[in-house]
Structures are given as C-alpha cells and as structure tokens.
Amino acid sequence: MKYKMLTLALFLLTTLTYAQEGFKLGAHGGIPLGDFNDKIGLVFGADIGYMWAPNKVFDLGIKTGIVHGFGETFKDEVISTKSPSVQFAPIAASVRIWPSRSFSLGGDVGQAFGLSDGNDGGFYYRPQIGFQMGAQTEVNFSYTAIQLENESWTTVTFGVVYTFLSARHFR
C-alpha cells in the first residue's frame, strides 16, 4: 500500500503541466454534513465553466452547474418516510492558484439558486484542492457551503474535471 501511495505521489509531482485555460466540464459526488446530514443521503453535481490563465501561477474564471442531493428514506416497522431531494444551480467566480505544476488551491464564490420546492438558495462558496492527472484532466476535493435562510447546506465531495484546451495552447 505504501508503495502504491508513493508511486501516486511521485506521479502527481512529476506531471509536467501548467495552469489550464479553457472550457471546463466537471462532475463530483459526495456526502452531506451538518443540517442536511439526516435528510440527504448522497450528493452529485456537474459543473461547466471557463478559466483564463493570465500567467502560470493563477487562473480566473466563471462557473455554473447543478447540485442534486438525494433524499433519505427512513423505515420503521409500519411507516416509510422519504425526505425530499434538494437541488441548487450555483453561479460563481472562480480562482485557482498553482503553487506547483500539478497542484492547485482555489475556490468558487457566488450565488446558489434553489431549484426544489421551498428552496430559495443562498450565498455559495466552495474551496478546493486539485491535482493534475494529465494535460487536460484534474481530480479535486472540495467543501461546499450554501448559506440558506435558517440552515446551511454543507458537503464534502470528490470530483473530476476535464479541460477543453483553448487555441492558445496549440500555438
């Protein structure tokens, strides 16, 4: 196990890629925390956006997507109760800082619009840690928070992002 982890770490450190500019398409899945932990079982989402790379150290961009939390079903001897699913459509500004060629820190900040009944949405933020797995592929870990009126939507997710490189990369 240690050998596999060391090999993976060396692979991540030696990947020769720089900050990525272009359209990004991503998917992520995870678990809820806090206020929605007892109501939601799993969380899945998809993102699309565009990142500009003014230099090799940071990227700036915009992002939108959808987040879907699947409602939990609770059963006892006689009654079965299903919590409703929860959906959001976030729109955010994004920033990524690249301390190395294969590792990024960053986040998204914006507004998440509620799509499910009784859900007005709220302030959205999503800090992330990303690892380049190739010239156009990244995996990331993120924490998502949406400040609702009386509750907070919080999740921890694992995601994959694919970048459709811009023409700038082919010159």
> How confident is the model at residue 157, as a pLDDT?
97
> How confident is the model at residue 46, as a pLDDT?
97
CATH fold for domain 26-165: Porin (2.40.160)
> How confident is the model at residue 12, as a pLDDT?
40
Neighbours of 43 (CB within 10 A): 23
State the Cα–Cα distance between residues 149 and 111, nearest whole angstrom.
13
- Please give the sequence-ordered ranges of beta strands (E in DSSP) within 7-151, or none if there are none: 22-33, 40-52, 58-71, 73-75, 80-82, 86-100, 103-114, 122-132, 137-147
Each of the 171 residues of the chain gets a pLDDT tens digit; together they read 445 444 544 444 333 334 468 899 999 999 999 888 888 999 999 999 999 988 889 899 999 999 999 998 877 777 778 888 999 999 999 999 999 989 999 999 999 999 988 889 999 999 999 999 988 899 999 999 999 988 999 999 999 999 987 544 443
Task: Kindly give the residue spans of alpha helices, DSSP state H, lying in the chain.
Answer: 2-14
Q: How many residues does the chain have?
A: 171
Going from N- to C-terminal start, the domains of the chain cover: 26-165
- pTM, two decimals, is 0.79
Nearest partner of 71 among 86, 59, 61, judged by Cα? 86
Enclosing H/E stretch for 56: none
> How confident is the model at residue 137, as a pLDDT?
93
State the Cα–Cα distance between residues 158 and 77, nearest whole angstrom.
35
| Residue that the structure tokens 């969380």 belong to | 43
> How confident is the model at residue 166, as a pLDDT?
53
Q: How far apart are the first and last CA of the chain?
A: 42
- Sorted by sequence, the CB contacts under 8 Å of residue 100 that are 6+ apart come out as 13
Parallel, antiparallel, or unpaired: how do β-strands 80-82 and 86-100 relate?
A: unpaired
